[in-house]
Structure 1
Amino acid sequence: MKNSYALLCLVIFCTAFYGCEQKAIDKKLEDRQKALQGFKDASEELKQSSDAAAKLKYWNRQLANPQFNTDSVLVSKIHYNIAGVFYSMSELDSIKNHMQVAWELMENQTGYDADKVQLFSGLGNIANLEQKVHQENYYYNSAAQMLLADSAINLTPKQKITIYFSAAQSSAKLRQFKNAFVLNRKAMELLPLLKDNQKEKFRAYSQIAVCYFKSGGSTDSLYSYIKKMEQLYMENPNKQSENFLYDRKATYFSKVNIADSAFYYSQKRLKLDLEDELQNGARAFSVTTGNLYTSYCDMAGVFIESKQLDSAAYYLKQCENFAKKYPDKIDDESLLLYEQNLVNYSFATKKYADAERQQDILLRRTRFLYELESSRAIAEMSTIFQLQAKDKSILNLNETVVLAQSNLQKNRLWLLVSTLAFLLAVAIISLLYFIQRQRKLKNEAERAQLEQRLLRTQMEPHFIFNTLSALQSFIRFNDNEKALKYLHQFGRLLRSSLESSREGYVKLSEEIDTLENYLSLQQMRYDDAFCYQINYDEEQDVESICIPPMLMQPFVENAILHGINPNGKNGLITVNLNVKEKTVLVTITDNGKGISQEVKPQQHKSLSTTISKERLAIIAKESGVAAGIEIKSEKNKGTVVTLTIPIKMA
């Protein structure tokens, strides 16, 4: 009795203690939310003031407040706001210190994704100020990917748009144009949520225009976005928009080789940049972004192209003066442009030694910044330059060749006739070989297609037989309602199977629907003995990707037959689809008992697996893309089947 009473007291005490502890946690979270809301309101209010000292004083007072300084989340938020004040003051070291503290405090916190997104963006801003392009790209894209993964993150549309724009701009710097286009367009999708979105629209059009220009895309598309920029500028004219508009026009006319227009807009852009520097000094937008340096470089390039070398030398000198005055405001791409102009200028003025030295500098920097393909292109330019730099040697060699030709004048006609006869013979032999090869390839392709169709006609009866056996079992047990539902769904599946059997390739979206229908049928057949998941990237355009039909279904069927306990309720079939450049990687996983390692007599030959392997071999041979099947199994852990299937674009 005493023991029972003691146990009851212990239970009551533990329950009360747990209840008090939970209340304390809830109270702490409630207080934190109130403090965070207070910080947010204070931040909005302080934005109205230009007094940086007053802002710092306020946030330092919060940092010293005993009510806040024991909570990592609140301290992180305070340091973040202090970093924002120093950002407005361009105090780089202070920004870095406070942002680093803010990130270390917030990094391991759960449930504060919005704050982490803002911290990633802030770290990207710091890397941008330091011209650390790869770090900038990492931080901005980390923030953007978090937003893409969870659209419910509690940030304003304007904040999300700014992050997408920053990540897109950073990706374009590293020539990741596909990602830049995606992020720019993601930002544009959010623009209707802003009341006044003219500024953001202009930036979107401007950044997409840059992507088209730098990626060598369509000049028509480039010009269409410039026209959209021009329309917005006419509706809301301002100096910054005017500058960007002139820049995009200058690059467009330079790309289509209209030199007069390119020079005109480059000159107007330079004038605006100089006015900005004159008014605002080191804080000028044209200085902090390096736009003034780029304008000098572009003007030098225009004058070198038009052979006005004195003017070119003047603007090259201006580039040097800017680099001495603002050494940390020049990005690598602009520096490459300047060094390329130096090479062109030295060559145009026939200073070949200087040109060769500058070319070496340019090559070293380019190899560091660009991939091997770009390096090879520059190396080819270097080779051409070196050949041109040796004009005197080439002229001497040509004189020797001319002398030799004069000695062979008497035999020239015979040599010419012999050469023509030899070339004609080679051409005829090559043509015959080409025709024969084309016939052989055509015959092999037709035979491969016929074999593939024959293999598929073997597979589809096998699939229908297995499905009808399930329907038979429902009818046997007099489950009419379930049989009718099953028959209706089977009819839809059979119709899609028959439609796909006429085609060599079907849309990936249709194949996913067919697989979904099949799994639903089997789930009904086995009385919900298993669950299933079909996972793929929803941003992938599955409507434009085509694959051979009925390749995944046999292995899903095997996973159900051999990997699922019909009497259980915890079966799981997972199908993951990952689209690569020329293939789709399909992973089919079950959580069954796995394939037994003991060697037993084969009681039933898996026709579907054999046929699928044969089909993939034919498809791989026809498409020239690697394809295959890999099966891994662990006892009591399940089986994983990996299919590598070539794709075609619709």
Structure 2
Amino acid sequence: MKTYINSSVKKSCVYLLLLLSNALISQSVIVELDSLKSVLSKHVKEDSTRVILLNTISYKNYGVAPEEVNNYANKAKLLAEKIGFTKGEARSMYLISVYHLSKGDLKGAFSAIEQSLELYKKINESKGISTCYDFMGTISYYQGNYDKSIEYYEKALQLARKLGSKKKEADFMNNIGNINSASGKLDDAIRYYNEVIAIYEEINDKKAMLTPLNNIAVIYNRQGKHLDALAYFKESLEINRKLENKKEIAGDLLNMGAVYSAIKDYKKAEKSYKESLLIFKELNDQHGISSCIISMANIYRNSGDYKVALEYLNEALNNYKEIDSKKGMLTTYHNIGAVYFKQSDFKNALKNYQIALNLAEDLGEKRVIGMLNIDLAQVYFQFKDYTKSFTYATNGKKIADELSLLEAQREANSVMTKLYRHKGDYKRALEHHILYKKLNDSLFNKENVKKIAELEYEYKYKEKLQLANYKELQLTQEVEKTALELAKSKQNLLIGIIVFLIVSITLGGIILYQKLKNIRSVNENILMEQKLLRSQMTPHFIFNCLSVLQGVILNKEIKNAVKYLSRFSKLLRITLENSRDKMVPLKKELEALQHYVVVQSLGVEKPFDYTIHKAEEIQEEEVLVPPMLIQPFVENALEHAFEEEQVDRKINVNLEYKNNQLVCVILDNGVGIASKKQSNTVLKKSLATTITKDRLKMLSKEFQVDSSISIKDRKEINEQGTQVVLKLPYKKITND
């Protein structure tokens, strides 16, 4: 994931640090403002009550009418000074500071909050002092001074603990968590967030828990756990829509857009960004507007429209320069460099990456420093300055590994692969490509197989070629030495020796070629065996069926033999038909299972009861499932679930929809999997379970559905036997 995503996510989260961000921007607030203004018009006396009314109206206008925040706060300040109401004056200066921050005036905001702090100290108002320290921490964060920010938040936290305010304690700890997150100390950040959640659970404030949960989602997003992050952001958005919290809604939409962009769903990303941008423009929030502009720019960059992307980014850069936001400028320069790199304009890419790196080092943005080192390594590789490229790549990878930044680790291993390849160190190139492949895609797909095979072949081929060249050099030197020693010998003898050496080298080359050809052939055979494994029926099952049939025929049980043979042939025919397709109707799969169980029941000495049940809402002719997924687990139950002396044997197969998933539960009343764990048979079966799991993963990715296998002993629920739960990938046949 690129820098702009993380920065935009951080900015939207930092807005949650502001005490006033909990104000409800809704119709109810407007009604409340009208009521307060009516009371103010009637209370004409210049006293502390009027100051409180003016400050309250100023506070309520935050997020509704920013200019009114400043207007009423200044009126309150003048009146408070006039009547000597220090507490009211301190509150007015706090609100004036909030106004300046909302306009991007960081210096004005800090100056006003310092005045507010001095006034609160003058009257020894601990609650007000704590609030000022909190806001000073927020402003310092925007200025990029993380150490100062944590120092102010710690002061606010200590006062909150003395006052016994659990709510404030949680707020300040959340802020400290945000700073740790920004500086790359993700474990510390999560620790603070979890402490905050514990406090909110203690005081039963479910709404407030959304803030730390949202922050944890941001960390998941950085670590590449995009679906986990998206789930948290969607939950936050749903609650904020109900509360009509416009600023928080805009932040959630911006965060969701970043996640969609990271998983390359650019259509949904653009929709989220545009909706967020409209709200930020309505609120005249310059930070939010700039974040949306950067995010939109990267949508155009990824679609190849670099001209429009640069126009957006330059607009954002000008906005950040006007409000003197170093963090915003860092994000923008980084993304401008990325656009130039995409255009192969490596000179301008280098220039912008370097500016961004300088800003990141000034701000102590360790995570961004790591990413920029990797970006610079890519640029210097293009310039063929491999020494600098290797230095930057090594630095970037070290930080990425330290902070567990999966996408940065992937890019670092990618450039390291190219560097070692250039050096001719194909072994290390292969090692880094394997790491890159694991980070890039957890599934074993065809493209990765091909790439690894190429690298393995290249490494082995080059290694043997170098050995052959060395031997050839040795042989050549021997030829020259022999030629000197036999200078006086007969010419035909010399020619014979040279011919012999040439033939030897040629034969060596032919042998080497044949060995490499054999290696390729072995790899192709392995891939073919893997394909066959998916559709193969177990040989011992077929052998057992034929043995049973032979026994029935020898006993002259003609009717049973015909019945058994009919069932067995139908089972073979359905299995062969199903094996040709990735997906088959559920009806055919259940029919094959039915035939299989009947064939098995005819061939066993001790009978067993079985049921195959599906829920009424499952239309088996309209649902497609992968073939041969259920049968191996039924076979496993028949073969291994029951002790020899057990008489009452039952196997139940149930299919139903749960949470829009097709779930198959296979139950037996045998001895249970816990009793079988030490047997060799079960250990052999674990391979089949692993292959089935891998197959489900591949099918899940291909059809974009969730699927899984879970096996447990029913003793856990005071029952007998084993339970297998299969969440099957499926498709519904539509009539459109």
- Matches of 2:268 and 2:536, distance apart in 1: 41
In structure 1, how many angstroms separate the alpha carbons of the residues matched to 2:522 and 2:297? Answer: 53
Would the aligned equivalents of 1:266 and 1:295 in 2 still touch at CA under 8 Å? no
* Alignment-derived partner of residue 173 in structure 1: 222
Provide the residue aligned with 1:343 in structure 2.
377
| Alignment check: 8 A CA contact 1:630 1:641 kept | yes
**C-alpha displacement at 1:375, in angstroms?**
4.6
Q: Percent identity?
A: 10
The one-letter amino acid paired with 1:205 is L
2:597 to 432, 447, 450: 450
For 1:529, the equivalent position in structure 2 comes to none
**Cα deviation 1:285-305 (Å, max 9, x = unaligned):** xx1xx2312322222233334
Structure 2 counterpart of 1:97, which letter? E
CA distance in 1 between partners of 2:187 and 2:518 (Å)? 59
Matched, 1:262 2:309: no
Q: What letter is aligned with 1:273?
A: L
- What are the residue-to-residue correspondences of 1:48-447 with 2, within 5 Å? 48-50=95-97, 51-60=112-121, 63=124, 80-90=130-140, 91-92=148-149, 94-102=151-159, 105=162, 114-128=167-181, 130-140=183-193, 142-143=195-196, 153=205, 164-195=213-244, 197=246, 199-214=247-262, 216-229=263-276, 232=279, 239-256=286-303, 258=304, 261-277=305-321, 279-281=322-324, 284=325, 287=326, 290-323=327-360, 326-328=362-364, 330-332=365-367, 334-370=368-404, 375=409, 378-379=412-413, 381-390=415-424, 435=532, 438-441=535-538, 446=593
For 1:536, the equivalent position in structure 2 comes to none
- Aligned equivalent of 1:10: none
CA contact (8 A) 2:662 2:728 kept: yes
CA distance in 1, matches of 2:121, 2:724: 60
In the alignment, the residues of structure 1 paired with residue 225 and residue 517 of structure 2 have an alpha-carbon distance, to the nearest angstrom, of 49
The letter of the residue matching 2:258 is V
2:713 corresponds to: 629
- Going from structure 1 to structure 2, the CA distance change for 1:425 and 1:217 (only over 3 Å counts) comes to closer
Which 10-residue stretch deviates more, 136-145 or 426-435? 426-435
Structure 1 residue 312: Cα displacement: 2.8
Counterparts of 1:547-562 in structure 2, within 5 Å, are 548=665
Do the aligned partners of 1:507 and 1:546 also contact (CA within 8 Å) in 2? yes
Taking the aligned partners of 1:360 and 1:204, their CA distance within structure 2 comes to 35
Query: SS of the residue aligned with 2:95?
Result: coil
Question: Which deviates the most, 85-94 or 234-243?
Answer: 234-243
Query: Structure 2: any 5+ residue segments left out of the alignment?
Result: 1-51, 60-90, 98-111, 141-147, 426-458, 474-501, 543-591, 602-606, 614-650, 694-708, 730-736
Q: Secondary structure at the match of 1:49?
A: helix
Contact 1:249 1:262 (C-alpha < 8 Å) held by counterparts: no
C-alpha spacing 1:226/1:503, structure 2 compared with 1 (3 Å): farther
- Tell me, yes or no, if the aligned pair for 1:300 and 1:313 is still in contact at 8 Å: yes
Residue equivalent to 1:470: none
Per-residue deviation, residues 68-126 of structure 1 (Å, max 9, x unmatched): xxxxxxx6x566424324325524254143144146558xx7xx764454243233244
- The offset of 1:208, in angstroms, is 0.8
CA gap of 1:364–1:271, structure 2 versus 1, over 3 A, is: same
Q: Aligned equivalents of 1:41 and 1:641: distance in 2?
A: 67
The code of the aligned residue for 1:176 comes to: K
Q: Deviations over 1:433-468 (max 9, x none)?
A: 9658833249699599739998664999xxxxxxxx
Structure 1 distance, partners of 2:661, 2:407, is: 30
Query: TM-score of the superposition, structure 1-length normalised?
Result: 0.53
Rate the CA distance shift 1:56–1:390 in 2: closer, same or farther, 3 A: same
Other-structure match for 1:544: 661
The question of whether the paired residues in 1 share the 8 Å contact of 2:610 and 2:652 is answered with no
> Could you state the TM-score of these two structures normalised by the residue count of structure 2?
0.48
Give the letter aligned to residue 189 of structure 2.
E
Higher deviation after alignment, 339-348 or 121-130:
121-130
Task: In structure 1, list runs of 5 or more residues that go unmatched.
Answer: 1-36, 65-74, 461-500, 509-541, 552-607, 634-638
Pairwise CA distance, 1:172: 1.8
- 1:627 alignment partner, SS class: strand
The alignment covers a number of residue pairs equal to 445
C-alpha contact 1:144 1:167 (8 A) present in aligned 2: no
Query: Contact 2:393–2:415 at 8 Å: present in 1 too?
Result: no
- Change in CA separation of 1:266 and 1:629 when aligned onto 2, cut-off 3 Å: same
Q: Give the letter aligned to residue 83 of structure 1.
A: Y
In 1, are the aligned partners of 2:293 and 2:312 still within 8 Å (CA)? yes
| CA shift for structure 1 position 280 | 3.5
Q: Is the 8 A contact 1:632 1:640 kept in 2?
A: yes
| 1:535-578 Cα distance to aligned partner (Å, 9 max, x none) | xxxxxxx5537352778xxxxxxxxxxxxxxxxxxxxxxxxxxx
2: distance between equivalents of 1:275 and 1:167? 29
Q: Secondary structure at the match of 1:505?
A: strand
